Amino acid sequence: MSSIPNSPEIGRSLLAAGRQTNVHDLGSGAPVLLIHGSGPGVTAWANWRLVMPALAASRRVIAPDMAGFGYTERRPGDEYSMDNWVAHAIGVLDALGIERTDLVGNSFGGAIALALAIRHPERVRRLVLMGSVGVNFEITPALDAVWGYQPSLEAMRGLLDLFAYDRGLVNDDLARLRYEASIRPGFHESFAAMFPAPRQRWVDAMASAEADIRALPNQTLVIHGREDKVIPLQTSQTLSGWIPRAQLHVFGQCGHWTQIEHAGRFARLVTDFLSEARDDEPQPLS
């Protein structure tokens, strides 16, 4: 696993599903697994840095760099698929000896969280889906641009403008940091291999079956930014309509970065939702 000395993006290294995996592991109590999105150069720390300390005040926070991203090991011939990403997430839990966890998934990570809850129901207590993929929708121009990113400072600045509603969060310094992250050795090569054009097929590949989603017994919090240009609000409205025990929270004046643009509110909302869980959840649907 590549590393940068003293970088906050580097957590602990563990072997998960046969892959050396960079994982942030902080706090104590009931575990919650955070699965990041799929922006170029993303890491778990970059995605969750503003909310991990608040969440860790009351629970054990586990945030891995998923296969193909960040400082987790890349291997020749890696194949990126929902099957492999779900297996990697389960491998993280197994390596840490965690039998059941709450799950928080952001965008691409929401699709993984949803699939994991469907395929391994015994491993999941409560579910949080934020700006989530996981149902069929027509790919947006913004998501097509994100997945089709070719490294340049100008391209990164353009993507940041798509992610954030509040343009005050986007400046040249942030664009440069994220651009430099996207061109670290191996980062763009694996990213480019994940979502080659035509990209609608990758949206479709990440969708779970409607019947499986409707059968989920988990208490589920669905979160979306009203002004999200990357993943349409309709996806969360669909998810909250299909999941029997779902509730939907829409943040106004918010783009695709709910956990950044509304970090304090997001952390409180998620903490309150997870704190209500009982050890015997989920109960079968009546």
Active site residues: 107, 228, 256
Contact present, 98 and 62 (Cβ < 8 Å): yes
> What whole-number distance in Å separates Cα of residue 28 and Cα of residue 94?
17
Cβ atoms within 10 Å, residue 61 = 25
Q: How far apart are CA 131 and CA 127, in angstroms?
A: 13
Scanning the chain, the segments in alpha helix (DSSP H) are 44-48, 52-56, 82-95, 108-119, 141-147, 153-163, 172-182, 187-194, 200-205, 210-214, 233-242, 258-261, 263-275
Query: Which amino acid type is present at position 97?
Result: G
Provide the residue count of the chain. Answer: 286
**Per DSSP, what are the bridge partners of residue 32?**
61, 102
Eight-state DSSP code of residue 210 = H
The C-alpha angle 194, 167, 65, rounded to 5 degrees, equals 30
Q: Is 263 helix (H, G, I), strand (E, B) or coil?
A: helix
User: What are the start-end ranges of the H helices in 65-199?
Assistant: 82-95, 108-119, 141-147, 153-163, 172-182, 187-194
